[in-house]
Structure 1
Amino acid sequence: MKKLSVKLGIVFFFIIFGLETFMFFFLHSALVDSRVKEEIYALQTRGNSHRAILEMHFDTPTLNHVALMESEADTDVVITDASNKILASSAESQHFYKYFKKQPTSLPRQGRILEENWRKKPFISTVTPIKTDEQVIGYVYMFQDTESVQTLIKRLNDHFLLAGLILVILTFIIIILLSKALTKPLIEMKEATSKISKGNFLVTLPKTGDDELGDLGKSIELLAKELNYLTRERNDFLASISHELRTPLTYIKGYADIVLKRKLSEEENQKYLHIILDETKRLSDLIKDLFELAKIDKNQFVIQKQKINLGEFLAKIDQKLSPAFGEKNMTLHIFCPEDANLFADPLRLEQIIFNLLDNSIKYSPEGARTDLIVSRKKHKVQITISDNGKGIPEEDIPYIFNRFYRVDKSRTRSLGGTGLGLAIVRDLVHAHGGTIEVKSKENSGTEFNLIFRG
């Protein structure tokens, strides 16, 4: 009972068998009732035929002729006068006489059924009045042995039983094939998920169509690809973290050993201590960014949106960053409509813009220009940050939001970046329900478009 195919087969079998049994019972009952009614109707019709003849010739030769005709048939007839005295009979049977004890009254011309209980009684019977000038002159009693009816029903039962057995066998075969057809792709999916759980993400599943099983198979394949990608990303991420942490720690340890073990001049001491301080700051920034990403990944931070006047908000950012731009003789130009508002978390939005403007400062030459433009498009607010710096090669653009990805790896240490800034920016923008787009051309500058719901 552990296999799904067996369970499905048993469930399907009992459901279909139950439906078939109900339908067979209903059909059998309907056919039996129909056949019995046909027999009774035929018996009554035969009595009416005799009545029609006897109404024209109610004499002894005719009575004997009718009785003789029925003696050779499967039915019997008894003809009586108006007082139920027997005038002619096709057979002698004591079972007939109980129907003559009580004289029929108010009989319709088509007659009446006297007995229709074919299961318990030896005969089914009908009675039809014989009339002349609207006066009843006699009665025609028709009898049929119920054994013949039961024989007919028995043949019908045998046919039903044979058909039922054939149908059950066919149903059983169909259910086996159907359950196997249904469970085969499920078994393959189970094997695929077992491979995935063991770290084998290169799984493929046969196409089963556009139904729910097909959708499930596609979802499992997509899951395997995503897990494969995430595993590679995790390994790369861990390798990058290891490298990024090891490098400043190596610098700190090495220069600390030099300061402690060697007798250095004051000038050299200050030089090495500044290097240790710079590497400590780099390590602190890296750990801070890692904590930010961990919070974002675990949804442990809350975006507290409020209405922000972008003009005033960006003026404060300009004030904070103007010294950094001034050091490289760069200029920051902000264009923002006076009525521009945005529902966002001010601290997180500041973090987003700070990171992007910091990249403009790092990757632009002295005297470069950076523009920050706010515009409205229908129900959306777009913040564009563009510069005329060194730009990003086209082949690197799809990867710049990956963690620890750097376009210019040779200048990493001199620029002081952690390689996590754009990853944090992207995740914070998505947390606001927004999107981020990038356009860049090498040696021509870079443009970031932040699009938020207004």
Structure 2
Amino acid sequence: MLKISLKLGLYIFSSIFLLETVSMLYLHNHVIQSRINQELESLKSRGNSHRDVLELSYSEGTLKHIGLMESHTDTDVVITNSTGDILQSSENINAEMKTILRKTLPQVPRKGLIIQSSWKDQPYIATVTPYNSDNEYEGYVYMFKNTGEVEELIAQLNKHFLFATVLLLFFMLIIIYFLSKALTRPLIGMKEATTKLSEGNFSVTVPIRSHDELGELAQSIQSLANELNYLKKERNEFLASISHELRTPLTYIKGYADIARRKDLDVSERTSYLEIIHDESQRLNKLLDELFNMAKMDMNTFTISKETVRLASFLETIHEKVLPAFQYKKMQLHLECKEDSSIDLDPARFEQIMLNLLDNALKYSNENTVTTIKAERLPGSINISIIDQGVGIPDEDVPHIFDRLYRVEKSRARNTGGFGLGLSIVKQLVEIQGGTISVRSKLNQGTCFTIIFKGDH
């Protein structure tokens, strides 16, 4: 199986190689054709120069001078009259030249005409230029160049192109090697991180080296690792806390049951111990009920039955139900609900939410304080708040107040009677019914829980 770095390198190499091949072929052909055109134009220019000399001073000496001059160059000249008779040539005329000279010429412009441009399959490239000296002497100046020399020039160009191609491929391979390494290094790091995650090691760190898609992927993996690590710690803490919460009542039950079995106890002592066993059994049963409800909500098997209720009368019922407990503790419980709005919710579950929040206010508030149930209708929402004047929640604990088995009292004093599950269940019950819950608190000043149901009611 090919590694991703090798695959990426092959893809990049294939793409660039194809692009470079097409570009080099186009450039090669274009340069060669341009060079051939330059040679042809140079031939035509030399023919035009000889024409100018003949028209300026036509004589036998001039003809010989032109022939002699071209005999020392890499081009050949043949001068004919208007009937095709050869007047002068720089070299002996061979069969290939004669073939070109016998061609029927079209109307030749004064600037000259290319009569043979094919250098691949012909021994010569050739041009022709007409001359006319005082309307007395007329004819043509033919210029020839051996294509062998042109082919040598093309061969030199091919060598340069081949060297440039090899050099380009060499540097391209080096660049692709380092580029593929640079691109795949973050992916390899992410792969190693996900391997560790699959093995249960969630304390991984994925370096984020860029802000592109790879950086976003690394950030997502890091967020997943952090979340899994948090869930692992939460699970361990959950199991430890549950063990603690179960062990405490079971210890009480076993201990007092052993004492109650003693035959030397009188009836009042045995009854007292049995009451403790009964209370701890109820406490244990309540914990199991809360755990069972939480498990059902986690598995999405927790059902609710919504119905339309009048909010004012519903809150008034709750107020009357819990008021005696507040009065017994010498606390005041106020209800503020100016509008009797209708709202869709599960009455039993929402009553559970309110009783849990009010129970917290009762536990963590002192005598002569006020707790307020406040409901108000705002544009697009209904807000229901429980506001107390209790001990408050420390700032560092507020973000975790809805976590499972999280308790502000780290000592887990039994006189509060809680398990750290109530607010977690409250949050889930609120969200199941389409609402949100938030908390604001100041130490030694009080706490406010606010439930918001969006929409027009």
Q: Does 1:67 align with 2:67?
A: yes
Q: Write the distance in 1 (CA, Å) between the matches of 2:344 and 2:90.
A: 106
CA contact (8 A) 1:406 1:412 kept: no
Please give the alpha-carbon distance, in whole angstroms, between the structure 1 residues aligned to 2:79 and 2:231.
100
Residues 303 and 135 from structure 1, CA distance in 2 versus in 1: closer, same or farther, beyond 3 angstroms? farther
Residues 1:453 and 1:135: Cα distance change in structure 2 (over 3 Å): farther
Task: Write the letter of the residue equivalent to 2:4.
Answer: L
Residue 89 of structure 1 pairs with residue 58 of structure 2: no
The answer for unaligned runs of 5 or more in structure 2 is none
The one-letter amino acid paired with 2:145 is: Q
Which residue in the other structure is 1:164 paired with? 165
Q: TM-score, normalised by structure 1?
A: 0.85
| 1:306/1:93 CA distance change after superposition, 3 Å | farther
**Contact 1:440 1:447 survives alignment (8 Å):** no
What is the aligned partner in structure 1 of residue 76 from structure 2? 76
- What fraction of aligned residue pairs are identical, expressed as a percent? 50
Q: Give CA deviations for 1:31-58 in whole Å, capped at 9, x if unaligned.
A: 1111111111111111122222223344
Determine the structure 2 residue equivalent to 1:358: 359
For the residue of structure 2 that corresponds to 1:179, the secondary structure is helix
| CA distance in structure 2 between the aligned counterparts of 1:204 and 1:197, rounded to whole angstroms | 14
Structure 2 SS opposite 1:50? helix
Residue 161 of structure 1, CA deviation: 0.7
Structure 1 pair 100/393, CA: closer, same or farther in 2 (3 Å)? closer
Q: What is the 5 A alignment of 1:188-337?
A: 188-205=189-206, 208-252=209-253, 274-301=275-302, 310-322=311-323, 324-325=325-326, 328=329, 330-337=331-338
| Shift, 1:146, TM fit | 0.9
Residue 75 of structure 2 aligns to which amino acid in structure 1?
A: T
Are 1:24 and 2:24 matched, yes or no? yes
What SS is found at the alignment partner of 1:107?
Answer: coil
- More deviation, 6-15/359-368: 359-368
Q: Distance in 1 between matches of 2:80 and 2:345?
A: 107
Letter in 2 for 1:43: L
2-structure distance, mates of 1:135, 1:321: 135
Contact 1:84 1:103 in 2 (8 A): no
Which residue of structure 2 lines up, in the alignment, with residue 14 of structure 1?
14
- Paired position in structure 1 for 2:439: 437
**Alpha-carbon shift at residue 254 of structure 1 (Å):** 5.5
Cα-to-partner distance string for 1:274-325 (whole Å, 9 max, x where unaligned): 5454434333332232233334444555788887654344234334444554
Within-5 A mapping of 1:114-133: 114-131=115-132
- Aligned-CA RMSD value: 3.5
Counterparts in 2 of 1:399 and 1:208: CA distance versus 1, 3 Å? closer
Asked whether the 8 Å contact 1:306–1:346 carries over to 2, the reply is: yes
1:429·1:436 contact (CA, 8 Å) conserved in 2? Answer: no
Where structure 1 has 5 or more consecutive residues not aligned to the other structure, the ranges are none
Q: What is the total number of aligned residue pairs between the two structures?
A: 453
Q: In structure 2, do the counterparts of structure 1 residues 395 and 145 end up closer, same or farther at CA, with 3 Å as the change threshold?
A: closer
* Bigger mean CA deviation after superposition, 213-222 or 42-51: 213-222
Moved more, 310-319 or 248-257: 248-257
Aligned to 2:101: 100
Amino acid in the other structure paired with 1:7: K
Distance 1:208 1:368, change over 3 A: closer
**Matched-pair contact (CA < 8 Å) for 2:435–2:452:** no
Q: Could you say if the C-alpha distance between residues 361 and 122 of structure 1 is closer, same or farther in structure 2, counting changes exceeding 3 Å?
A: same
The change in CA–CA distance for 1:368 and 1:193 in structure 2 (over 3 A counts) is: same
Partner deviation per Cα, 1:246-294 (whole Å, 9 max, x = no partner) = 3334445556667778698776676555545443433333223223333
Residue 5 of structure 1 corresponds to 5
1:355 touches 1:425 (CA, 8 Å); kept in 2?
Answer: yes
From the superposition, tell whether residues 201 and 69 of structure 1 become closer, same or farther in structure 2 (CA, over 3 Å): same
Q: Name the CA distance, whole Å, in 1 between partners of 2:305 and 2:16.
A: 58
Deviations 1:343-387 (A, max 9, x none): 766655444323211212333346643101234566554332112
The residue identity in structure 1 corresponding to 2:37 is K
Tell me which moved more, 295-304 or 224-233: 295-304
Change beyond 3 A, Cα 1:343–1:147: farther
